[in-house]
A and B are shown apart, each in its own frame.
Chain A
Amino acid sequence: MVSIIKSCTMYGMCAEITNVECDVSKGMPMLNIVGLPDAAVKESRERLRAAIKNSGLMFPMSKRITINLSPAGTKKEGTHLDLAMALGLLVSAEDIYNEKISELIVLGELSLNGRVNSAGRIASVLMALKKLNVRSVMIPKEDLKEAIIIEGIDIYPVKDLSEAYGFVSGTFHIDKVSGNRPEIISKEEVNMEDFSDVKGRTEAKRAVEICVSGFHNLLFTGPPGCGKSMIAKRIPTVMPEMGYEEMLEVMSIYSVSNAATYSEDCRYRRPFRTPATNISHSAMIGGGSGIPKPGEISLAHNGILFLDEMPEFRRDVLEALRQPLEDEKVSISRSSWKITYPCKFIMIGARNPCPCGYLNDPMHRCSCTSMQIKRYNDRLSGPIMDRFDIFVDMAPENDWEKTSVFDKEMVGRDSAGMRKNIDFAVNIQSERYKKENFKYNSQLKGRALKKYCYLDGESMEMYDMGCAALKVSKRGADKVLRVARTIADLEGEESIKGVHLAEAFQFRRRDEAGI
C-alpha cells in the first residue's frame, strides 16, 4: 500500500509542502529515495533502518521500498524529512490509515537510537507554513521552546520515533500545544556601555537619536579617534523594542541563516551588524551554494547595519546595497529559483576625511595628495551618498578643548534618556502610520511625504529660504523634510515648525569643496 505523509521543504523564507510517498512491496530488498533528494536526504536511509530497529519497531524485511518526495521535480534539502519518511515507511508496511495524519505536517531528524532531533530553524518553518494555511504540525520536542511563540498553529511535540508512530497509529496520545503571542519582555541586560561614556560630541549623539527614531541612514565623517566607532557601538543601548511581527521577521531570518549567527538574543534585541571591510558580495547581499542564505543586510533587518571605514569596502559590495536600500527587500536569483529576503535596516556609515585621516586636523599633518583624497571620497558613489539622510562631520579635538573644562563639564546625555525620547518618537510614528504600509519617517516618499510633512506659512518660509541660501538640491530638500518630521516627533509636535527645519538643515550634506 502507498502511504502519504506530509512534510515541507524550505526555499529561503518560503515553504513548499512535500508529500512523502512510500511504497512497500514484494521484490528485491532495497530502499530507494527519489524526487531529487540532496546528499543529506539520501543518507537518511541508513538512519531510517537503525532508528526503526532501535525503537523496537519492525523494519519491513525482504521488501522493495520506494520513497518518493513529491513534487519530484524540485530539489529537497535538509534532514528534517527523516521522521516523515520513517512514519511513511511504517504506515505503509503496517497498512494503517488515520485521518488525523492527512493534514499533519511532520518535521524532525532521526537519531540512530530513535530519538527525534531538532529539525532546525523551526521558527521560520512554522512562519512559512502558517502562510500556507497549515493547521497542525508535529515537531521535535526540543524545538518546542522556539516554536511556542508562533501563534495560530497546533503543535504536537514528539520525543522519539515510537511516540510519533504511536500517535499516528492511534495508540499514544499527545497533548497539542498552541502557540501564543509572547509577552515581549526586554531582557534585563547589564550594559557595559552607555552613551554617558561619550564626552561631548553632542551633535553626533543628537544625530543618533534622530536616526534611530525615524530609521534614517546616517554617515559620520571624522578623523581617527574622534569617536565614530565608540558612538556606533553604543547605539544598541538606545534601540527601541521590537513589535511582535518585527520580532518574528528577525527570528525567521536568523533561523534560515546558519546556526552560528542565531542566538536567543535575537528575540529581544534589534540586530546590530558590523560586517568587516573585506566582506564578499554574497556575504553582504545573501547567496551561497544551494539555497541562497540571507546576507548581512537581511540579518540587519529591523536593526542597524554599521559600516565602519565605509570607503574601504569593496566597490561592488557597496554598489550592491543600492537596490536593497530602496526596496527594503533583496531578491537573489538562481537558475532554478528566486528567493526574497526582507532587509529594512538603518545604514550607519563611518569614514575618514582622507586616506590618512588627518585632513583639516590642525594637530597632525595630512600626508595625502589631493588626488588620493579625491579618489577616497569618490569611493562612496553619488547614488550611495544619496541614500543617507543625516550627515555629521566630526571635528578633530583641539588642544585647548582637551585640556579645558571640557572633560568635567561635558558629561552629556546617557542612554536611558535618549532611549526614552526615541521610544516616544517611535510610538508617535506607529500611531500616525497605522493605516499605511510603512512605519517610519524615513520611508516617506512622494505623496506620503507631502501628506505627512505639511508646512505652514512660517515653516514654509524657513524651508524655501534655507533651500535657496544653502544651495540644497531637490533631493536634499526632501531629506531635510523627513529629518524635520522626526525632529518634530521627538519634540511631540504635530506640525513641523521652523525650528525643526532649522535643526534638520544642520544635518544636510555639505559640499566637500566648501565654497
Chain B
Amino acid sequence: MKQEYDVYDMWFSDHAGRRVRELWEKAEKMGGTRFFYESELMPSWKRDIRKYERACEEIKKTGIGVCSIRDGDYPQILKEIYDPPFLLYYKGELPKKNVRICGIVGSRKATAYGRKMAYDFGKILGENGVWVVSGMALGADSCAHKGCLDAGGMTAAVLGSGVDVCTPSSNKKLFEEIIGSGGCVLSEFLPGTPGYASNYPRRNRIISGMSENIIVTEADEKSGTSVTANMALEQGREVFALPGNITSIMSKGTKRLIKEGAVPLISVDDILLEMGISVSKIKTKGPSLSEEEQKVLNIIEEAGEVSMDGLSLLYGKSSPELYGILTVLEIKGVILKNNGKIIVAK
C-alpha cells in the first residue's frame, strides 16, 4: 500500500482536534501539511517535528498501519462526521468497503445481564458478517468483542491510547485475538500515547462515527456510554438501546435513550431485522429439559432476574434439590448465575 502520509501529517493530526476540516482546507491550499507547519498559522501549536520523526521510524519498525483521511481504505462513513480524525493508526486489517458495521457500547461495570447481552449481540452480528466496533474496555465492550470472535466474525477495537498500548493491560489476550482474527485495533493517537482519561470522549466519537448504528447495552445516566450515545445521535447514527429493569441503575441511561426516541431492541434477532439482514440461521431447538427443570426455568423466565432466595420461595421446595437442578440448567446452558443472581441465558 502506498504510504500517503508524512511526519507533518502526523503532527497535524495530533493537533487539529475539532477544527480539522477548516484547517485541513487551509493546509491543502498551501500545498500540504508541511507548509502549514512552516507557516505562522496556529502559533500555539508546538513545532516539535523531531518527536514525530522518531515516532514515524518506530511505526515503520513495528508494522503499525497508518491511514489518512485522503486514503481509499479510510472508513467511508467516518469521513462524513464533523470532526474525523486526520490519521488513523491501526494494527490488523481495516474493514473493507461495503462491510456492514455496528457499534456496541456499554458500561464497564456491566451487570450479568449487560455482559450476557453484549456477548449475544456481538455473536449474532459476527455470525452474520457484520463488523462489531467497540472500545475493548472491561465489561460490556470486552464481551461484545468476545461474542463476535467466538462466532468467527471480525471486530474492531478503538482505543483511547496508542495502538501499541493495550488498554486496559489485562485485556492483552483479547487484544491479540482481535488482531489475529482479521479484525483490527485502531486509534487516532500517536503510538506510545498512554490512555489518558481525556482521550476517551475523542475515542468514543470514532466508535460511533465508524458504525452505521450503535447498540447501547447498559449505561448509567452520566457515563461515557451515554456520551457515546449522544455523539452517535449528533452524527446521525441510529441508536438502539436495550431495555432494562426500571429499578436498575445500570439501565437508567438506556431507559432515558428509549424515552428520547432510541429504538428498543426486544430480542437479539431484532438487530438483524433493524439492519435489514435476513436471519440466515435456522433456530436450533433448545436442549431437552425434564419436567422439574422446565418448571424452574419457567420461574426464572417469568421473574427475569431472581436471587437464590426468591427462586426457592417461588419454587417452594427444599434448596439442595434446587441447587442440583440449577447446575443441570447451567450445564445445558439455559441459565447463568452471577453475583448471586440467576438470569436466563438463551
Point out residues on A near B: beta carbons under 8 Å. Answer: 200-203, 206, 221-222, 353, 359-366, 368, 370-371, 373-374, 392-399, 401, 405-406, 409-410, 465-466, 469-470, 487, 491, 498-499, 501-503, 505-506, 510, 513-515
B170 within 8 A of A: yes
A206→B319 contact, CB < 8 A: yes
CB proximity to A under 8 Å, residues B62-117: 108-109, 111-112, 115-116
Contacts of A363 in B (CB 8 A): 247, 249
Nearest chain-B residue to A206 (Cβ)? B319
CB pair A515 B339 closer than 8 Å: no
B150 CB to nearest chain A CB (Å): 9
B143 near A514 with CB under 8 A, answer yes
In whole Å, how far is A220's beta carbon from the nearest beta carbon of chain B?
10
Binds A, one of B53-61, B231-239, B322-330: B322-330
Is there an interface contact between A515 and B146, defined as CB atoms closer than 8 Å?
Answer: yes
Cβ-based interface call for B210 (8 A): no
Once the chains are docked, how many angstroms separate the CA of A118 from the CA of B203?
76
Asked whether A487 lies within 8 Å of B115 as measured between CB atoms, the reply is no
Given contacts A365-B220, A370-B137, 8 further A-B contacts (CB under 8 A): A361-B249, A392-B340, A395-B340, A401-B307, A401-B309, A469-B330, A502-B323, A515-B119
**Cβ of B247 and Cβ of A514 under 8 Å apart?**
no
B168→A203 contact, CB < 8 A: no
Is B286 in the interface zone, CB < 8 Å from A? no
- A499 vs B326: C-alpha distance when bound (angstroms): 11
- B138 located at the interface, meaning its Cβ lies under 8 Å from any Cβ of chain A in the complex: yes
- Pair A514/B338 contact, Cβ less than 8 Å: yes
CB pair A360 B330 closer than 8 Å = no
Q: Is the CB of B137 within 8 A of A360?
A: no
Assess whether A410 is in contact with B313, with CB atoms less than 8 Å apart. Answer: yes
For B328, what are the chain A residues with a Cβ–Cβ distance below 8 Å?
Answer: 502
Contact at A503–B339, with CB atoms within 8 Å?
Answer: no
Report if A202-B170 is in contact (Cβ < 8 Å); known contacts: A362-B250, A370-B109, A499-B321.
no
Q: Is B245 part of the binding interface, using a Cβ–Cβ cutoff of 8 Å?
A: yes
In the complex, residue of chain A having the shortest beta-carbon distance to the beta carbon of B252: A365
B323, B331, B339: which contacts A469 (Cβ < 8 A)?
B331
B180 contacts chain A at the CB level, 8 A cutoff = no
Contact pick for A503, options B308, B310, B320, CB 8 Å: B320
Known: A406-B309, A469-B331, A469-B333. A360 touches B112 (CB 8 A): yes
Nearest A residue (CB) for B150? A515
In contact, B146 and A401 (Cβ under 8 angstroms) = no
Say yes or no: A502 contacts B247, CB within 8 Å: no
Summarize B's interface: helix, strand, loop or mixed.
helix
How far is A501 from B338 in the complex, measured between Cα atoms in Å?
A: 19
Check if B313 sits within 8 Å of A406, measured CB to CB.
Answer: yes
**Which 7 pairs, one residue from A and one from B, show the smallest C-beta to C-beta distance?**
A395-B340, A502-B324, A200-B309, A393-B340, A502-B327, A395-B307, A503-B323
* Known contacts A469-B331, A514-B112, A362 near B320 by CB under 8 Å: no
User: Which A residues lie within 8 Å of B313 (CB)?
Assistant: 200, 405-406, 409-410
CA distance A362 to B305 in the complex (A): 11
CB-defined A-B contacts under 8 Å, sample of 29 = A201-B309, A202-B308, A203-B323, A206-B323, A353-B339, A359-B109, A362-B247, A363-B249, A366-B109, A370-B109, A370-B137, A370-B139, A395-B307, A395-B308, A395-B339, A401-B310, A466-B331, A469-B330, A469-B333, A470-B331, A498-B324, A502-B323, A502-B327, A502-B328, A503-B320, A513-B142, A514-B115, A514-B338, A515-B116
Chain B contacts for A365, CB-based, 8 A: 220, 249
| B289-307 interface (Cβ within 8 A of A) | 307
Nearest A residue to B146 by beta-carbon distance?
A515
Within 8 Å CB of B325, what residues of A? 502
Least distance between A348 CB and chain B CB atoms (Å): 17
Residue numbers in A under 8 Å from B250 (CB-CB): 362
> Nearest chain B CB to A499's CB is how many angstroms away?
5
Q: How far is the CB of A47 from chain B (nearest CB, A)?
A: 63
B105 to chain A, nearest CB (A): 15
Given A406-B313, A502-B323, A503-B323, also A222-B331 (CB < 8 A): no
Judge if B337 is at the interface, Cβ distance under 8 Å.
yes
Closest Cβ of chain B: how far from A369's Cβ, in Å? Answer: 8
Q: Whole-angstrom distance from the CB of A471 to the nearest CB of chain B? A: 11
Of chain A, the residue at the smallest CB distance from B122 is A515
Give the chain B neighbours of A513 by CB distance below 8 A: 115, 138, 142
Q: Is B248 an interface residue (CB 8 A)?
A: yes
By a CB distance below 8 angstroms, the chain B residues around A371 are 168
Q: Is the pair A370, B309 in contact by a Cβ cutoff of 8 Å?
A: no
Are the CB atoms of B245 and A202 closer together than 8 Å? no
Of all chain B residues, the one with the shortest Cβ separation from A205 is B319
On chain A, the residues within 8 Å of B256 by CB distance are none
Judge whether B111 and A505 touch: CB under 8 Å: no
Query: Which chain B residues lie closer than 8 Å to A394 at the CB level?
Result: 340
User: How far is B118's CA from A89's CA once the two chains are assembled, in angstroms?
Assistant: 86
Residues of A within 8 A of B332 (CB): 469
Please, how many angstroms separate the alpha-carbon atoms of A406 and B325 in the complex? Answer: 22
Chain A nearest CB from B323 CB (Å) reads 4
| Chain B residues in 8 Å Cβ range of A373 | 109
Q: Are B112 and A203 interface neighbours, CB within 8 A?
A: no
CA distance A409 to B109 in the complex (A): 34
Let me know if B341 is at the binding interface, CB within 8 A: yes
Residues of B near A202 (CB, < 8 A) are: 308-309, 312, 319
Report whether A360 and B247 are in contact in the complex, using a CB–CB cutoff of 8 Å. Answer: no
Contacts of A470 in B (CB 8 A): 327, 330-331
